[in-house]
């Protein structure tokens, strides 16, 4: 019976996109460098169609989990190649939705939040 429970947990871990993404992002945190959405999708072996959409859904779940637990946002390690080193707008929409950024924040305040959160995530998740 013990072996069956162990196998079930192993299967669930393999099937969890959030766990897979978190595990990969912990490796990235140790490098102290961001990763692009496309590179992370490739590392996670996501298959078309809509690989970036699949990834953003997973990252939003990670944001919700981290916000709820009070941990730095591991999703802050993922950036958009097209946005000059910042995450895509969905990241900022999600952090606003979970109450980490005010809807009335200026773009400078939001960028400062991101930079601080990136540093916190590297320190926490890369340890």
pLDDT digits 0-9 by tens, 33-80: 999 999 999 999 999 999 999 999 999 999 999 999 999 999 999 999
pLDDT digits 0-9 by tens, 10-34: 444 456 899 999 999 999 999 999 9
User: In this structure, are residues 92 and 111 in contact, taking their beta carbons and an 8 Å threshold?
Assistant: no
Full-model pTM:
0.86
Residue owning tokens 């959405």? 37
CA of residue 73 relative to chain centroid, distance: 7
Cβ contacts of 41 within 8 Å, gap of 6 or more: 51, 52, 54, 55
Provide the residue count of the chain.
127
Quickly count: other Cβ atoms within 10 Å of residue 42's Cβ.
12
Both structure tokens of 17: 């996109």
- Can you give the pLDDT at residue 23? 97
């Amino acid at each position: 019976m013990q072996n069956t429970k162990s196998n079930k947990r192993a299967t669930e871990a393999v099937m969890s996109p959030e766990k897979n993404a978190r595990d990969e992002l912990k490796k990235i945190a140790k490098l102290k460098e961001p990763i692009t959405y496309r590179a992370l999708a490739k590392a996670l072996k996501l298959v078309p169609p809509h690989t970036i959409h699949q990834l953003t859904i997973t990252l939003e779940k990670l944001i919700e989990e981290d916000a709820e637990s009070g941990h730095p946002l591991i999703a802050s390690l993922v950036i958009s190649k097209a946005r000059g080193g910042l995450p895509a707008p969905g990241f900022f929409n999600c952090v606003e939705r979970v109450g980490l950024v005010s809807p009335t924040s200026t773009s400078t305040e939001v960028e400062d939040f991101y930079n601080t959160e990136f540093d916190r995530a590297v320190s926490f998740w890369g340890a």
